[in-house]
Amino acid sequence: MTEPAKPAELDPAVDPLARFADWLAEAGRSEPNDPNAMAVASVGADGMPSLRMVLLKGFDARGFVFYTNLDSRKGAELRAHPKAALLFHWKSLRRQVRVQGAVGQVDDAEADEYFATRPRGSQIGAWASIQSRPLAGRFELEKRVAEFGLRYAVGNVPRPPHWSGFRVVPETIEFWHDRPFRLHERIVHVREAGGWRTTRLFP
């Protein structure tokens, strides 16, 4: 019987942003739902970490972008303490990527451009939802959706002033790849002046 081929070792010389782009593209072909889903961790004023799933909406050399209500819990925490950690987990590929870095808000033009691409229902929802605030019942939300639907019944829906995006500028990127007997492969890239310092880690 022929033994299955071992997965190729990760080449530490590969640019981490290029590798992430390749892995994200592979996930797009293999993951059944939301290959761009990622966990975002922030920290509250009390030092308690907070974690939630969001969707990556942009990625380039400047960093990783997602959008949210700025007055939500994550929005408030990221503005007060502008650092975040991200985690991508692609179960079908047995891979994960961890990112840590400083956070900055995208400019208005970039937020407007993305908001214009959203489905109209999602645009209305951005106005209707007072995200992370107590909700008396589903009817209260549906009532607000109806009210804003009437307000913006004609023409384009403008972006709410409380809705925008955050960009996580990576300071570290770690790639994890499943290997037999839990001897997994881990490579971490740390940003330095002029490039990245790369280190292999014990699993």
> What CATH homologous superfamily does 16-116+161-201 map to?
Electron Transport, Fmn-binding Protein; Chain A (2.30.110.10)
Beta-strand pair 163-177/195-201: unpaired
Q: Is 98 a catalytic residue?
A: no
Q: What is the pLDDT at residue 110?
A: 97
Summarize pLDDT for 113-132 with one digit per residue, the tens: 999 999 999 999 999 999 98
13: Cβ–Cβ under 8 A, 6 or more apart, which residues? Answer: 198
103-to-96, 124, 161 alpha-carbon distances in Å: 21, 27, 19
Dist. CA 55–CA 34, nearest whole Å: 8
- Specify the 3-state DSSP secondary structure of 197: strand
Summarize pLDDT for 40-93 with one digit per residue, the tens: 999 999 999 999 999 999 999 999 999 999 999 999 999 999 999 999 999 999
% residues pLDDT > 70 (the chain)? 96
Dist. CA 21–CA 27, nearest whole Å: 10
Q: What is the pTM of this model?
A: 0.91
- Where does the pLDDT of residue 1 fall: very low under 50, low under 70, confident under 90, or very high at 90 and above? very low
Domain span(s) for CATH 2.30.110.10 in the chain: 16-116+161-201
Q: Which of 182, 186, 191, 197 is catalytic?
A: 182
Q: Give residue 38's identity as a one-letter amino acid code.
A: M
Query: Mean pLDDT in the chain?
Result: 94
Q: What is the pLDDT at residue 5?
A: 43
